[in-house]
Structures are given as structure tokens and as C-alpha cells.
Amino acid sequence: MKPAEAEIRPRNDTMSKRTHLAQALQNATRSTESAPVPPAASPPSAETPRFVARTPSRVGKKTIAAHFDPAVSRQLKEIGIARDRSTQDLLREAINDLFTKYGKPPIA
């Protein structure tokens, strides 16, 4: 048997998983369709504030995110482990270095 042939999975495994998933989805749909629907509560008025659960340390903060290769994430985690620092601490340092480079105050 050639090495390339050993890596190919039979298509039957995937199909049976999909069949099981489809059957589970149908069963779940049937059980929710026959379940009685409880009476709806009165809709919130315009004066009712929406409650958003936030960690106190995140109040007034804004998320900044980007997409990178998995190797970038691994390397950042390795640096954090080696220096006993969180990813957020390392990113804060990097952003402050960037601000300084471009003549802005380090405010992160």
C-alpha cells in the first residue's frame, strides 16, 4: 500500500456522521415543535435599561482585535510563559512601543 493511500479516509465515516447529525437535528426539531410555548412576558419598555454583564475591569474599555497565523499566537504565548506575563500585558507593551515610535504618548 502506498503512503498516500493510507492517509485517505473512507468517505463512509463522514457520511455516517452527517446522517447521525441530521437525524439528531430532526429529533431536536420535532421535540421543540410539540413542546408547549409558555406565554410571553410583556415586552420591555423603552425606559427599561438593557443589562449587559461586564467584568468591572472592562467597563469603559474597547476591544481591539486582529487575525494572525497560528504561529504568531503560539509565539506570543511562549513569550508570555517565559516572562510570566499575560497576552494582554504583552500586547499593551507592544502598542505602547508603537505609539512611542510614532510620537504618540504611551496610553495603553
How much of the chain exceeds pLDDT 90, in percent? Answer: 46
- Please tell me the predicted confidence (pLDDT) of residue 28: 78
Mean pLDDT of the chain: 80
Question: Does residue 82 sit within a domain?
Answer: yes
Question: Does residue 80 sit within a domain?
Answer: yes
- Please tell me the predicted confidence (pLDDT) of residue 54: 75
When pLDDT is averaged across residues 41-47 and rounded to a whole number, the result is 61
Question: Does residue 79 sit within a domain?
Answer: yes
Binning pLDDT at 50, 70 and 90, where does residue 69 land? very high
Cα gap 64→69, rounded to integer Å: 17
**Domain housing 85:** 68-108
Which three three-digit cell numbers place residue 37? 410555548
